[in-house]
Structure 1
Amino acid sequence: MNVTDIDDKIIAKANQMKRMYKDIAQTFEKEFFMDLKDLGISKPNIVLRVTENMDLVIDFIKHLESKGQAYKAKDNSVYFIVNKDNYGKLQNIGDWEDQEKKSDIKRNQMDFALWKSSKEGEPYWHSPWGTGRPGWHIECSALASYALGANVDIHAGGIDLRFPHHENEEAQSCAFHETSQWVNYWLHIGHLHLKDSEKMSKSLRNTISVQEMLKDTKAEVFRLACAMTHYRSYMEYSKELIETAQNVYKVYKSLIDSCDDYRKGYLKANINNDVLLKILCESYNNVHKALCDDFDTPSVISTLNQLVSVTNSMLHTTSSSDHHQNGLSSVTAVSNFVSSTLSLFGVYYNDTASSSSEDFIKVMNVLNNFRQEVRLIGIQNKDKDVLKICDNVREKLKDSGITVKDYGKLSSWSSTFLNAAVTRATFSEKLMVLLRDGRTLIGYLRSVDQFANLVLHKTIERIHVGKEYGDIPRGVFIVRGENVVLLGEIDVERENELPLMEVSVDDILDAQRKEQETKQEKQRLLSKALKERGLHLISDLTHDDMF
C-alpha cells in the first residue's frame, strides 16, 4: 500500500490548522489503520510512504526524462509528455486537436506534473531540477513499480480516480517500463452515499466515521451490506440497508446453528440427501461463476440465500424417525460451504465460540465451588443425604461430558468437549500447506468444505533459502483442494526448535532472487554444454514431482 503523506490537500490542511504536514499525515494514517483493524481488514503486507522513499520518485522521473518522456518547463517543474499514442485507455479523450493546445508553461495542456517546483510555505526536497516536491500521480507509479515491478495484476481505487489519476499512472508507468500495459485489471469502486445525498466526503461534511458506525453495527454486518452491492456501484448507506444486512446475518447464523444441532442429534428432520447435495453443487458452481464474473458478490449472496432457504425448509420439517444420520453428509457440507463462502468476505460465525467457552468456564467454576461447599457441609455434619445429592450432581454432569473429581475437601472439573470448542474458537489447528506451485503457507484452519477447499486465517507465506527463512503476511487465504500437495499440522510447542534463522522479508526475497539467478546460470551453462555436444536440455525433467 502506498501512503500519500504529502500532497496539495495535506499541505492546505496543515496551513489551515497551523501544524506540520507530517503531523496531519500521521494522524490520518493512524486513524485509517485503526479503522482497518476494527473492520477486520488485514494490514497490507507492504506499506510505503512517499516522504520515506523520495529517492525512488526522483529516480523514476529522471528515467522518464532520459527516455524523452518528460521535460523541465520554465517554471522549473517537470511534466510528462502526453500524446494520443500513450494516453486514453481508461477515458475517452475526445478530439485530440482540442486537447493538444499549448499552454503558457506546458508544451501541451494535457501534460501533467511529475515534479512541482517549490513554493513559499510548502515543504520541499532537493532534486536535479531544483527544490520541490513530487506530483500526486508519480508517487503511486514509483512506489508501486518498486514493490510490484513492471506488471501489476490488480489495481483498485475509487471510481473518481479513474481519470485523471489512474490514466496518468498507466501512461507514465508504461513509458517507464517500456510496455504497452502496466495494469492488467482496474477495479474502480463505487462511492458510499448517505441516503438521498451525494457521496460521503469530508469536504462535504456529510460523513459518518467508522467508529460511529461500529457503535451500532457489527463489522461483519457492514461487510455483508457491502457484499450485497456490486463493488462498481455506489452504495447507499441507510438504516434500512443495515437492517437488511443484519437480518441476512441472523438467517445465516441460524442455519449454521441448526446444522450443528442436526449433527448432534438434537434436531430431527427429513433430509433428502440427494436433493440437497445436488442443490449444493449447483450453488457451488453459481458462486464460482459469479466471483469469476467481475466479483459479482450480490449474485453470491442471492445464491446463498436460496441454498439457506431450501436447507432450512428441510431442517424444520420435523421427523419422528431416528434415522437422521441419512442427511449428515449433505447438512455438514452445506454448513461448511456457507461458512467458507462467507469467510471470503470476512464474515465469520465461529468467533462466538471463544466467548461462549469463557462463559461456560465461569458457570462451571461457580457450580463446582457451590457443590464443593455443600459437600464440605455434608462431610462436617456427616449428612449422607447431602453427600448423595452431591454424588448425583457429579454423575449427571458426567453424562454431559463433564468429569468432576473429589480430593478430600476439594473438587475439580474437566470437560471432554470444551477443549475441542476452544480449539476451534482460537484456531489452534496450525497447518502447513505445500502448494503445487511450490509455495509454503502456514496458517490456522478456519474451515474446510466438501471439495477439500481450505480457508486459513492469520496466514503467512514462508520462504526458505538455505537455513534462513522469512514470513510474508497473507491474512485470510483460500486454498483450492486440487492445489494442495502436502498438508500437515504444526506442533506449536516445538515450532521454535527448528535450526533456522528468521530474517526480514526484504532480505529473504533478495536471497531468493539471488538463488534463482544462480539456478538460472547453472541451467544456462548446462544447456550450453549439452548443445555443444549436439544434445538439448528438456526443462520439464528438471522439475520436482510437486510441479
Structure 2
Amino acid sequence: MIKVYNTLTNEKEEFKTLKPNEVSMYVCGPTVYNYIHIGNARSTIAFDTIRRYLEYRGYHVNYVSNFTDVDDKIIKASQENNLSVNELTQKFIEAFYEDTDALNVQRATMNPRVMDNMDEIIEFVAALIEKGYAYPAQGDVYFRTRKFQEYGKLSGQSIDDLELGASSRVNDNDQDKKEDPLDFALWKAAKPEEISWQSPWGQGRPGWHIECSVMATKYLGETIDIHAGGQDLEFPHHENEIAQSEAKTGKKFANYWLHNGFVTIGENDEKMSKSLGNFVTVHDLLKEVDPKVIRFFIATTQYRRPIQYSQKNLDEANNNLKKLKTAYENLEYRMANALEGTDDESDLQAIKDKFTEAMDDDFNVQNGIAVVYELAKKMNLYSEKETVFAETIQKMISLYNQMLSIFGIEFGKKEFLDDEIEALIAERNEARKNKNFERSDEIRDQLQEMGIILEDTAQGTRWKKK
C-alpha cells in the first residue's frame, strides 16, 4: 500500500486514485527564459522518479507538466536579447528537453504552453467573473480572495495574517485597482510594446497562477490525483490555483499535493535560485559532470528533503554509482562461464519486497537505494562463486535493473563515443555527396537505432542524443 505525504492535510495518507490503476499528475514546469538550474532539475527529477515508481507498481500515469512562456521575466529577457518572446521561449524549451533528456528524465505525456491555451484562459477568467469570484479593473482582472472561504488551507495561513503581509506588498497602482489587498491578478492589461491578446477586458495577458488551473483541468479533468511542484510554489501559486479552480468548478481540485525540498548551496545552505544569483545551470554542469552522476545525486534523496549541492556530494554520488556499476559488470562477466539452470534465489523476492516497502512509504528513495546496495553486495558475492548459474544471474540483473531504472539509472545500455558518431556522419555526408542515397539512408537509420537524431542544416549536419 503506497502512502504519500499530502501537503494539504500535513499527513501521510493511503494513495487512492480516482480511476483504477490510473494516475492523473500535474507538475508545475519551468518558466522558459533561461537554462534550468539544479534547483529546477531537482523538481523535474524528483517527480520523474515518483512517476517511474508508480509505473513500476502498475499504474498508467498521465503526466502533464507545463511551460510558462508568457511572463514578466520572459518579456524582459526577450527585450534584453533582442528576440521575440516566441524565439526566446522556443530556444529554452529546446534547451530544457536537451538537458532533461541527458538526465534520463522521461518526457511528459504532454507539455502544454500558455500561448496555446489563451482561449481557454480567457473563458476560465470570464467564468470566474460570472460567478462573482473575479472583477475587471482598468483592464486587469482580479480574484476576490476573501470570497473563497477556504483560502489558506494548503499553506495553513489565516486570512488575517495574510492581510497584514499583503498590504505592504502591493504597489500604489495595484492598490488603487483592487477591492482588497489580498486579491490577485488573473489577467493583466497590456503595457506598450508587450506581447498581448485581445480579451473582453482589452488587450492583455494572463496572470501567472491562472495558467496552471486552466491547463491542469483542461488536460486532466476538474479533479486530479496529484498536483506537484517545488516547496516555494506552495504559497501563493498553489494556494491561488486551488482558489481559482475550486471557485470555478465547485469540486476539489487535487486529492494529493506533493512538494519537493530546496537545493541549497554554500556554507550557509542558501536556497539556490535565479533571483539570488547563486545558481548552477544544468547546461553548464553537463559539460563537466557525467549526467548519470547528476541524476543519481538528485534522485537518491527523498523528495521532501533538502539537497545540499557541493562538489563533495557530487563526488560521493560518483563513487557510489561506480560501485553499483562494478557489481553489475562483475556479475554480467560471469555469464560467459555460467552453467545452465538455476540455484536457490528465493531471497530475491525478499529483497524486492523490502524495496517495495521502502518506496511505498512516501517514495523513500534513501531506504530504497539502501536495498539496491544490499542486492549489489549479494551480486558481488555471487560473482565470486566458483560455480554460477545463468538463470540466477539473469534474475539478479533483471531485479537490479528494475530497481535502478526507478532512479533513472541504466547499466548495460551501450554508450557510443562522439568520435564514432562523427565518423558515421562524415561517411554519410560523403555518400550524399556521391549521390549514394541508399548508403546515406542506412547510416541515418543506424544512428537512429543508436539514439542519435540528425539535423541537416545549411551549416552542415548537427546531431544530438535522444
- Interval containing the TM-score (normalised by the shorter chain): 0.5 to 0.7
Identify the residue that residue 257 of structure 2 maps to in structure 1: 186
Q: Summarize the alignment of residues 144-543 of structure 1 with structure 2, pairs less than 5 Å apart.
A: 144-179=216-251, 181-196=252-267, 197-265=269-337, 273-274=343-344, 277-278=346-347, 280-316=348-384, 318-319=385-386, 323-325=387-389, 328-352=390-414
Query: Is 1:68 paired with 2:137?
Result: no
State the alpha-carbon separation in 2 of the partners of residues 304 and 122 from structure 1. 52
Identify the residue that residue 115 of structure 1 maps to in structure 2: 187
SS in 1 for 2:218: helix
Q: Which residue type is aligned with residue 186 of structure 1?
A: W
Q: Which residue type is aligned with residue 257 of structure 2?
A: W
- Consecutive unaligned residues of structure 2, counting only runs of 5 or more, are 1-64, 168-174, 425-445, 452-465
State the alpha-carbon separation in 2 of the partners of residues 157 and 98 from structure 1. 22
CA contact (8 A) 1:193 1:235 kept: yes
Identify the residue that residue 98 of structure 2 maps to in structure 1: 34
- Range 64-73 or range 184-193, more displaced: 184-193
- Count matched residues: 350
- Structure 1's 277 and 255: CA in aligned 2 closer, same or farther, altered over 3 A? farther
State the alpha-carbon separation in 1 of the partners of residues 276 and 358 from structure 2. 35
State the alpha-carbon separation in 2 of the partners of residues 123 and 258 from structure 1. 58
Identify the residue that residue 427 of structure 2 maps to in structure 1: none
State the alpha-carbon separation in 1 of the partners of residues 104 and 316 from structure 2. 21
- Consecutive unaligned residues of structure 1, counting only runs of 5 or more, are 363-422, 429-475, 477-547
Q: Which residue type is aligned with residue 312 of structure 1?
A: N
State the alpha-carbon separation in 2 of the partners of residues 353 and 129 from structure 1. 55
- Structure 1's 235 and 123: CA in aligned 2 closer, same or farther, altered over 3 A? same
Deviations 1:5-35 (A, max 9, x none): 1111112323444543333323322222221
SS in 2 for 1:145: helix
SS in 2 for 1:324: coil
CA contact (8 A) 2:187 2:207 kept: yes
Q: CA RMSD in A?
A: 3.2
State the alpha-carbon separation in 2 of the partners of residues 94 and 171 from structure 1. 14
| TM superposition shift of 1:113 | 0.8
- Structure 1's 426 and 335: CA in aligned 2 closer, same or farther, altered over 3 A? farther
Q: Which residue type is aligned with residue 261 of structure 2?
A: G
SS in 2 for 1:216: coil
Deviations 1:17-72 (A, max 9, x none): 45433333233222222212222223333232212321111011111111222112
The structure that has the greater radius of gyration is 1
SS in 2 for 1:203: coil
Identify the residue that residue 55 of structure 1 maps to in structure 2: 119
| TM superposition shift of 1:299 | 1.1
Q: Which residue type is aligned with residue 82 of structure 1?
A: T
CA contact (8 A) 1:151 1:184 kept: yes
TM-score normalised by length of structure 2: 0.68
Tell me which of 68, 72, 75 is aligned to 1:8: 72
Percent sequence identity is 35
Q: Which residue type is aligned with residue 251 of structure 1?
A: K
State the alpha-carbon separation in 1 of the partners of residues 365 and 98 from structure 2. 26
Identify the residue that residue 127 of structure 1 maps to in structure 2: 199
CA contact (8 A) 1:259 1:332 kept: no
Query: Is 1:137 paired with 2:206?
Result: no
CA contact (8 A) 2:151 2:159 kept: no
| TM superposition shift of 1:250 | 1.7
CA contact (8 A) 1:227 1:301 kept: no
State the alpha-carbon separation in 2 of the partners of residues 97 and 241 from structure 1. 39
- Structure 1's 211 and 119: CA in aligned 2 closer, same or farther, altered over 3 A? closer
CA contact (8 A) 1:156 1:188 kept: yes
Deviations 1:336-382 (A, max 9, x none): 11111111222111112777xx99xx9xxxxxxxxxxxxxxxxxxxx
- Range 294-303 or range 112-121, more displaced: 112-121
State the alpha-carbon separation in 1 of the partners of residues 289 and 381 from structure 2. 29
Q: Which residue type is aligned with residue 150 of structure 1?
A: E
- Structure 1's 107 and 281: CA in aligned 2 closer, same or farther, altered over 3 A? same
Q: Which residue type is aligned with residue 76 of structure 1?
A: G
- Structure 1's 98 and 57: CA in aligned 2 closer, same or farther, altered over 3 A? closer
State the alpha-carbon separation in 2 of the partners of residues 331 and 123 from structure 1. 60
SS in 1 for 2:78: helix
SS in 1 for 2:380: helix
State the alpha-carbon separation in 2 of the partners of residues 31 and 204 from structure 1. 22
Q: Which residue type is aligned with residue 48 of structure 1?
A: P
Q: Which residue type is aligned with residue 94 of structure 1?
A: S
CA contact (8 A) 2:328 2:376 kept: no
Q: Which residue type is aligned with residue 183 of structure 1?
A: A
Tell me which of 136, 142, 155 is aligned to 1:79: 142
Deviations 1:67-103 (A, max 9, x none): 2221123x33211122362312221223538739995
TM-score normalised by length of structure 1: 0.58
- Structure 1's 30 and 426: CA in aligned 2 closer, same or farther, altered over 3 A? closer
Q: Which has the higher contact order (CA 8 A, sep 6+)?
A: 2
